[in-house]
Amino acid sequence: MRIDSAVREFREQRARRRGRVPLVVPYTGYGSTSWVRVLGRVLITTQLPSESPQESFRGWRSFTGIPIDGAPVRVEIGDTVHHVVADSGGVIDVRVAVELTPGWHRIVLRTEGAGAESAPVEAPVFVLDPAAPFGVVSDIDDTVMVTALPRPLLAAWNTFVLNEHARTPTPGMAVLYDRIRRTHPAAPFLYLSTGAWNVAPTLRRFLGRNLYPPGPLLLTDWGPTPDRVFRSGRAHKIEQLERLSEEFPDMRWLLIGDDGQHDEETYSGFAAEHPENVAAICIRQLSAGEAVLAGGRSKEDRREETTSVSWAYAPDGGGFAVALEEMGLL
């Protein structure tokens, strides 16, 4: 961590001497009628004046931005102003008190301080309706898009070279999510992944181009921690699910993942501890080729008997649609 901090500080000072300025990359947030979770990242970058913060980060360029440790940020939500601070990786992840009506809203983010002000950018925020006790938490890799994330060479190719046009959507999943949205119009869609915040703009464009319902991305930082060189992806998912159960104790979530990593184990553990917060669990079955690229399946035996929650296994969105209809969720 000390080496990482020293390198980041050296890059930041060098970039500032060359006249580069901070930039806030906005991410989609969420909240209730009394608070919102603001998400974004503060970077020093070579963004051109004609580019938006989202469009300037494509492929390998998304990893060239320099995160600013502890950058002060001004958050404007209507007539309310909050002053927050980014973490050591430049990530803005704060909860602020504000009264908003359910639905979509726009907030404004900008860095502040002497000589460090950035242009204002807008970030969408979805406020959950207290009367809508159903939502969706979906994995991304091998669930809504076909990838090979655990395999280092293919992961590097998908991350640093390909853009959202070259990524393959999982058959039938966008149609399934649209049916869920039409059946539950107020339901929030949250996309939970072990991917880095660097790829958030690419993932957002992929979801939009393939007509997935809009929603917050809950990603992580690949930087070192006090006890690990790389952060634990499974621990990240468990932490975010626990947070959602605390923030929305009356919400029942449809958890969607795949059998190529640890989604079965993660969702099973969460359902055992919080059965009241789980409507059902859907696990996409990878093909033999996808399972090989993903490093194998999570486990041969299924977990539907380990909890009282309903489970569904299918290779695509069509199979899940049939199962959810039988459960009364569609």
Per-residue confidence band for 168, with pLDDT thresholds at 50, 70 and 90:
confident
Give residue 110's pLDDT. 93
Q: Please write the tens of the pLDDT for every residue from 205-246.
A: 899 999 999 999 999 876 665 565 556 778 999 999 999 999
The CATH number covering residue 311 comes to 3.40.50.1000
Angle among Cα 218, 223, 226 to the nearest 5 degrees reads 110
Report the distance separating Cα 86 and Cα 50, nearest Å. Answer: 26
- Rounded Cα–Cα distance for residues 65 and 47 (Å): 9
Residue 117 has pLDDT above 60, yes or no: yes
Among the three residues 98, 127, 156, which one is the final residue of a domain in this structure? Answer: 127
Whether 279 contacts 251, CB under 8 Å: no
7 and 114 belong to one structural domain: yes
Give yes or no: residues 241 and 173 share one domain.
Answer: yes
Q: pLDDT digit string (tens) for 54-92?
A: 554 555 455 667 888 888 999 999 999 999 999 888 899
Number of domains in the chain: 2
The verdict on 108 and 167 lying in the same domain is no
pLDDT at residue 288 in the model: 67
More confident residue, 299 or 128: 128
Residue predicted with more confidence, 256 or 231 = 256
Are both 154 and 179 inside the same structural domain?
yes
Q: Do 323 and 207 sit in the same domain of this protein?
A: yes
Q: What is the pLDDT of residue 131?
A: 85
**pLDDT value, residue 48:** 44
pLDDT band at 196 (very low <50, low <70, confident <90, very high): confident
Residue 189's beta-bridge partner residues? 136
- CATH number at 89 reads 2.60.40.10
Does 12 score more than 90 pLDDT?
no
| 181 shares its domain with 251 | yes
Last residue within a domain, chosen from 127, 152, 168: 127
Residue 183: C-alpha distances to residues 47, 320, 324 (Å): 41, 15, 11
Q: Name the range with the highest mean pLDDT among 5-14, 49-58, 164-173, 258-267.
A: 258-267
Q: What is the spatial distance between Cα 77 and Cα 82, in angstroms, rounded to a whole number?
A: 8
Domain end among 92, 107, 127: 127
Helix (H) or strand (E) holding 322: helix 317-327
pTM for this entry: 0.86
Backbone angles phi and psi of 302, in degrees to 5: -80, 165
Residues 196 and 265 occupy one common structural domain: yes
Query: Rounded distance, CA 177 to CA 172, Å?
Result: 9
User: Based on the domain organization, do 80 and 154 belong to the same domain?
Assistant: no
Q: Which of 260-264, 267-271, 292-296 has the lowest mean pLDDT?
A: 292-296
Q: Which band of pLDDT confidence, cut at 50, 70 and 90, is reported for residue 51?
A: very low
Arithmetic mean of pLDDT over the chain? 83
pLDDT for residue 49: 43
Which of 22-26, 81-85, 105-109 has the weakest average pLDDT? 22-26
- By residue range, what is the domain housing residue 72? 2-127
Average pLDDT on 43-49 reads 62
Looking at residue 70, its pLDDT comes to 87
Q: What b/e string do you get for 213-224 counting C-beta neighbours within 10 Å, with b at 16 or more?
A: bebbbbbbbbbe
87 and 144 co-located in one domain: no
DSSP per residue, 14-76: HHHHTT--EEEEE--EEE-SSEEEEEEEEEE----TTS-TTTT--GGGGGTSEEPTT-EEEEE
DSSP calls for 278-302: EEEEEEEPPPHHHHHHTTS-S-SS-
Q: What is the DSSP letter of 228?
A: B
* Average pLDDT of the residues in 258-272: 90
Residues 242 and 183 in one domain: yes
Q: Which residue has the tokens 């639905």?
A: 103
Residue in 49, 68, 69, 25 with CA at minimum distance from that of residue 202: 25
SS3 313: strand
**258 within 8 A of 283, measured Cβ to Cβ:** yes
**What would the DSSP string read from start to end of 60-129?**
GGGGTSEEPTT-EEEEEETTEEEEEE--TTSEEEEEEE----SEEEEEEEEE-STT-----EEEEEEEPP
Residues 242 and 269 in one domain: yes
Do strands 189-196 and 29-31 pair parallel, antiparallel, or not at all (unpaired)? Answer: unpaired
User: Dihedral sign, CA of 91, 96, 100, 103?
Assistant: positive
| 163 and 253 part of one domain | yes
193, 221 Cβ separation under 8 angstroms: no
What pLDDT, on the 0 to 100 scale, is given for residue 147? 72
